Amino acid sequence: MAFIRTQERTKERFSLLLLDLEEYYFEQHTAYHVTSDAKQRRTRGSLKVCSRSIIFDPEDLGEPILKIPLRDCQKIKFEETEKNPFIKPKPPVISVSCKQVIFIKESNIIAPYQNERGPKTLNFELESWSKTEDVVQTFLQLHRASCLEKLGDQTAMIAANLQSRLARTSFDKNCFQSVVEKPHMECSAEMVLPLVCNPGHVCVTDQSLYFQPLNGYPEHVIQIKLHRIRRIYKRRHGLRPLGLEVFCTENDFCSDIYLKFYLPTDRDDIYYYIASFLENHMTEHTAESYMLQWQRGHLSNYQYLLHLNNLADRSCNDLSQYPVFPWVVSDYTSSQLDLANAATFRDLSKPVGALNKERLDGLLARYRGMPEPRFMYGSHYSSPGYILFYLVRVAPEHMLCLQNGRYDHADRMFNSIGDTWKNCLEGATDFKELIPEFYGNDSSFLENGMKLDLGKRQNGALVGDVLLPPWASDARDFLQKHKEALESQFVSEHLNEWIDLVFGFKQRGSEAVAAQNVFHPLTYEGGVDCDSIKDTDQRIAMLTQILEFGQTPKQLFTSPHPQRIIPRFQNNTRSSSISSPTSELAPGSLCEDSSFEDLTEESRKMAWANMESLERISSHKIHKESVTGIAATRDGASIFSTSQDSTLKMFSKELKEFQRSMSFSNMPLSSCLMLPEGKTAVCSSWDNNVYFYSIPYGRRQHTLMGHDDAVTKMCWFEDRLFTASWDSTVKIWECASISSSSHRRSQFELLAELEHDAGVNAVSMNPAGTLLVSGCKDGTVTIWDTSSYRSLQQVFCHTGTIHHLAFSPDSRHVLSVGADSFMKVTDVQTGMVISSVKAEEEQRCFCWDGNTVLCGGQSGDLLLWDLLSNTVTKRIPAHSGVVTAMWMNDLCNTVITGGDDRQIIFWRLQS
């Protein structure tokens, strides 16, 4: 848990949380607190010099920590005893006269602070006498800053003091872990922890990232080895681009260090240095790449939400931007949690404020009568107060820090999960969502394990453990069932709707208004430019309001988020009966007859699992020009290839030689395919025609003259032929009795003509034959419903010609490659480009299984791409020119490629 982790670095009783918000701890001195009574009791401890207070931390844990706010000090003076050579000298004294002293952690118990008001004088003796006068001068300077009338003037004077200290010091290079380390850059920064910042020096070398706190707290130096870093994020801190957060783990939401720099250029320089150093060790993921992993089941709902929070600047070290998670369960009264009942779940398509219609009607009435800028909700769904409301039992010092040394009223504490949910539904100003801990493994935030005195409720009951729903036997059981709910089929089907509200296109603008999802304008990124506010006090007040009120995450998506791909057969029978109300992609777009999937799933998985072991068997130069298409009989015994040399050639795999050569015209042939009956090869030509070749008869059987320009690619499904052409159309033909000897033109009936704005260069069909995708010379991808012949999606995907595209086996995605060297994955349901990979070279053809791509491009090599991590996992030398055609058979573990070098190459997948 984030708060526990940050406190594990030190076992000291003192904590930065004892300071006021936005206060700095500068230095410490071993000292004695000397009482002014007759006994003059001396208590040894540490005197802390802080920007707004004086703190004395006794070594005796039974004694309270003393905190004296500098604004409450009336006199701070240096008292030197009289010098008499005949009397043993006494140490000089720092005398502090004040009107208030705060007592903290008496007997080392975390409890609300005790304030003693009234005139008091406290005397301190430093163990190092020579430093006494300097410490007094420092206190006097900080005291003058605290007594300035304007808050802006106070802040400026303290900042000047801090910068002066940082300028007088530098990173201690004796802290390097290796004598051969080479420093790259050093600058000043602050380490960010929940509610506090600690200034110091950052140094990055060719081996490590170091942070050395100015005050030596919580340790002298913090080191992170660069090779251990897995993720690094730029952060917006205090509404400015100054933050940098470093993770040495893949899925944990707690970082290893969060740094805030004073200059954006310092932050950027260190970010790019580390990112370039780690290019072989880490991958910079995007929201789209994580979306693809989540859609295909490689990330859980929990992991995906953590990644989205990270990308949206949410951090466990910044309570104003803490990770936000949804309420997913709405039933906190039943004895059993029924995950097969849709009524168990919260409506994820609505924000919390819109879940109760009666309350929403009142909010909307106020909204309509409000002057601009209008907002529906006066409070946010995530703020420091809400975070600590949930976590007070494990982070009591944070709550005391946020609320000036007090807990909230006992009846307003986090007493019951059911009551909290009820208040979120009915409360006039309560619209809060949840935090990741509700779906984690650590239940301590639900239990008063520290035995804290959190107060007594009106009914006389002490605030103890959180009251759980009847369906949970204990806190661990609650978390386990709550996690199951988050990963249930219902939530998996609807989580995209909540993402649209919080991270997506319904976050702001007209879509937010339509979704009743409008918060105060100050909560949105870019809602106000604090640097443009000239009055310092007004700027600080505005910034404080924004940070404490709550901030909306950075917007990650500007179009509807696609739904998760739910497996057709669920192992979890409790959730299998819940159906999704979302509309289908197209009539019958998901394969109703699953025989194709059932027959080939196992062989396809085995084939792609062995893709790394692709072995070259033989190569044959059988054409005089570039190979343009490859097709084969079902058993792979006979291979047909077309070429720009205008020939169709038949090659025998068994005999390892070509057996037939056919020429239909003097124009290049552009592609070929084999009809399912295995007796007919079909070729498309630049002469605007399609030719049908009978294998048993060894001659041209039919000619389809159907286009006004070159025919580029073809698809076949059942008795329908789909032809794409540079005349900007795709035509659908019904072809009857192809295998007969008749030459009647009436055998080809034109069923539909799909118009495009540019020449169509590629076309492909999903396994069920219900969807068609076309790619044009202008880079446009269009998805068509083959039953109605209407366009479902049109996406301006590439900046140049699309060379090849194909559906994933489950028909949910389309992969396309183009002249712009990009490989892009488009979601069929939403039309959103969910993954975009820039290759080093232009790719021309590919095969893929939905996750891994085997592609060929300009260099002639075959590349194996992992789309989920956006990395090339293997490069295989193949052709001496561009790879122009590819064919793969999962059943017989065979791949055939053709290229500009006029060769076809046979490959085998080793088992």
Q: How far apart are CA 839 and CA 818, in angstroms?
A: 10
* Residues 453-475 pLDDT 10s: 999 999 999 999 999 999 999 99
**Distance between CA atoms of 829 and 182, rounded to whole angstroms?**
51
Among residues 831, 342, 330, which one has the least CA distance to residue 580? Answer: 342
Structure tokens at 634: 């079902």
Q: What are phi and psi of 579, to 5 degrees?
A: -105, 155
Selection from 795, 844, 799, 790 nearest residue 817 by Cα = 844
**Is residue 46 over pLDDT 70?**
yes
List, in sequence order, the alpha helices (H) in 374-488.
Answer: 384-391, 396-402, 417-426, 475-486
Mean pLDDT of the region 636-659: 85
Query: Which residue is listed with tokens 């090599």?
Result: 861
Reported as type and span, the H/E element at residue 187 is: strand 183-193
In this prediction, residue 1 has a pLDDT band, given cuts at 50, 70 and 90, of low
C-alpha separations of 253 from 247, 317, 555 in Å? 9, 10, 19
Please tell me the predicted confidence (pLDDT) of residue 237.
Answer: 87
Whether the CA torsion 227, 230, 234, 237 is positive or negative: it is negative
pLDDT at 844: 95
**Nearest-CA neighbor of 289 among 245, 243, 231, 237?**
231
Report field, pTM of the whole predicted structure over 0.95: no
pLDDT band at 5 (very low <50, low <70, confident <90, very high): low
Q: Which of 569, 587, 498, 589 is nearest to 813 (CA)?
A: 589
278 versus 596: the higher-pLDDT residue is: 278
Tokens of 285: 């993921």
Average pLDDT over residues 663-671: 93
Confidence band of 9 (pLDDT split at 50, 70, 90): very low
**Two tokens at 68?**
């004296």
Contact call for residues 813 and 828 (beta carbons, < 8 A): yes
What CATH number belongs to 171-284?
2.30.29.30
- Compute the average pLDDT of residues 365-377: 92
Helices (H) then strands (E): counts for the chain? 15, 42
Per-residue pLDDT tens for 505-522? 999 999 999 999 999 888
> Could you give the strand order of the β-sheet that contains 638-643, starting from the edge strand earlier in sequence?
627-632, 638-643, 647-652, 657-663
**pLDDT value for 179:** 87
Average pLDDT of the segment spanning 296-315: 92
Would you state the pLDDT for residue 655?
66
Judged against a pLDDT cut of 80, whether residue 651 lies above it is answered with yes
Query: 25-34 and 114-126: which strand pairing?
Result: antiparallel
Residues 205-214, mean pLDDT to the nearest whole number: 95
Beta bridge partners of 889: 894
Angle at the Cα of 354 from the Cα atoms of 348 and 357, rounded to 5 degrees: 120
Burial class (CB in 10 A: 0-12, 13-18, 19+), 691: buried
The whole-number average pLDDT for the span 231-240 is 87
With bands split at pLDDT 50, 70 and 90, how would you rate the model's confidence at 556? very high
pLDDT of residue 531: 67
Determine the pLDDT at residue 60. Answer: 92
Q: Kindly report, residue by residue over 687-707, the tens digit of the pLDDT.
A: 999 999 998 888 898 999 989
Angstrom distance (rounded) from CA 790 to CA 755: 10
For the record, the structure tokens of 237 come out as 């801190």
Residue 89: Cβ within 10 Å count:
12
Residue 872 reports pLDDT greater than 60: yes
Same-fold call for 2-166 versus 319-549 = no
CB atoms within 10 A of CB 317: 25
Indicate if the pLDDT at residue 626 is higher than 50: yes
The residues pairing with 732 across neighbouring beta strands, listed in sequence order, are: 722, 752
Give the count of beta carbons closer than 10 Å to the beta carbon of residue 428: 11
Indicate left, alpha or beta for 565 from its phi (over 0: left) and psi (-120 to 50: alpha): beta
281: tokens are: 């060790």
Rounded Cα gap, residues 261 and 238, in angstroms: 11
Distance CA 100, CA 139 (A): 17
Q: How many CB atoms lie under 10 A from the CB of residue 567?
A: 12
Cβ-contact 871, 285 below 8 angstroms: no
What's residue 18's pLDDT? 95
Which of 275-284, 421-430, 877-886 has the weakest average pLDDT? 275-284
Could you tell me the residue ranges of all domains in the chain? 2-166, 171-284, 319-549
Which parts of 383-416 fold into alpha helices (H)?
A: 384-391, 396-402
Residues counted in the chain: 911
**How many angstroms separate the CA atoms of 275 and 226, rounded?**
10
Least confident of 86-90, 637-641, 799-803, 847-851: 86-90
pLDDT of the residue at 799: 93
Q: Which CATH class is domain 2-166?
A: mainly beta
What is the CATH code for 319-549?
1.10.1540.10
Is residue 189 within 8 Å of residue 200, measured between CB atoms? yes
Is pLDDT above 70 for 573?
Answer: no
| Tokens (6 digits) for 859 | 């260099």
Helix ranges (DSSP H) in 489-648: 489-502, 510-514, 536-549, 595-609
**Cβ count within 10 A of residue 871:** 12
> Tokens 């590629």 appear where?
762
3-state helix, strand, coil in the chain (%, to 5): 25, 35, 45
The helix or strand, by DSSP H or E, that contains position 152, with its residue range, turns out to be helix 151-168
Q: What is the mean pLDDT of residues 434-439?
A: 97
128 vs 543: CA distance, rounded Å: 41
Those residues with Cβ within 8 angstroms of residue 746's Cβ, 6 or more apart along the chain or in another chain = none
User: Mean of the per-residue pLDDT values for the chain?
Assistant: 88
**Tell me: the pLDDT tens digits for 391-415?**
999 999 999 999 999 999 999 999 9
Q: In the numeric block, which tokens belong to residue 168?
A: 């007088």
Q: Could you report the per-residue pLDDT of 821-855, keeping only the tens digit for each?
A: 999 999 998 888 888 888 889 999 999 988 899 99
The pLDDT score that the predictor gives to residue 911 is: 64
DSSP string, 235-257: EEETTEEEEEEEESSSS-SS-SE
Cβ burial of 484 (10 Å; 0-12, 13-18, 19+) is: middle
Sheet holding 720-725, edge to edge: 711-717, 720-725, 729-735, 748-755
Q: What is the pLDDT of residue 738?
A: 60
pLDDT for 370 equals 92
Question: What's the token pair of residue 618?
Answer: 């033989």
**Any residues with CB less than 8 A from the CB of 621 and at least 6 apart, and which?**
901, 902, 903
**Where residue 572 falls among pLDDT bands split at 50, 70, 90?**
very low
What does the pLDDT read at residue 736? 75
The pLDDT-based confidence of 746 (bands split at 50, 70, 90) is very low
